[in-house]
Amino acid sequence: MYSRILVPLDRSATALCALEQAAVLARLSGGTIVLLHVVEELDHATGFESAKVYTEDVEPTFLAAGQAMLEQAAAPLRKDGVTVETLLRQSRGERVATLIVKETAAANCDIVIMGTHGRHGIGRVLLGSDAEQVARLSPVPVMLVRHAQAGGARPDSGAGG
């Protein structure tokens, strides 16, 4: 069974769905959930602030928000008896998927459970797919979880007509 479960978190509904699946698995296996949030430097830079402004003013704010998000996600799990660890990392121009794979190995995780937006076509080409990249590069199994509204009703959901 899986004893260390890595769950990359952002602020998306798909990430929360992945966390729910990880919680079920952790309860069944008695495993530990390792929550990871990556602060992407380039996502927050506007190009107008100097490097000093970014590192002294902006970056600490985003790091604090990331840590708060991790703790907010961890609190109910801990209250329910699930062991949770949190990791906050910064991307310094490195792709998020690469950092996730690195942290999987560094944290000695057995599985990665992460959300995917299920983009196809031009959206996938333009935005890339960190989930797909993690699935390709990960040294351990990867479970990709889609939000119910992300891909519409599943054929076996009983919806439709």
Distance CA 3, CA 5 (A): 7
Cα 27 → chain centroid: 19
DSSP conformational letter for 123: H
In a domain, 156, yes or no: no
Q: What is the pLDDT of residue 125?
A: 43
DSSP result, 46-59: -SSS-HHHIIIIIH
| 111 in any annotated domain | yes
The per-residue pLDDT for 108 is 97
What pLDDT, on the 0 to 100 scale, is given for residue 66?
94
Distances (CA, A) of 122 to 34, 127, 128, 129: 32, 8, 9, 12
Q: How many independent structural domains does the chain possess?
A: 1
pLDDT confidence of residue 154: 38
* pLDDT confidence of residue 43: 47
Of 78, 14, 3, 68, the residue nearest 37 (C-alpha): 68
Query: Does residue 90 belong to any structural domain of this protein?
Result: yes
3-class SS string, 60-81:
HHHHHHHHHHHHHHHHHHHHCC
- Which residues constitute the domain of residue 129? 4-150
CATH number where 56 lies: 3.40.50.620
* pLDDT digits (tens), the chain, 161 positions: 799 999 999 988 999 999 999 999 999 999 999 999 999 865 445 555 545 545 566 778 889 999 999 999 999 999 999 999 999 999 888 899 999 999 999 999 999 999 987 655 444 444 458 898 999 999 999 999 987 654 443 333 333 33
Q: Is residue 155 part of a domain?
A: no
Token pair recorded at residue 64 = 């604090």
Asked whether residue 105 is domain-assigned, the answer is yes
Distance separating alpha carbons of residues 112 and 126, to the nearest angstrom: 24
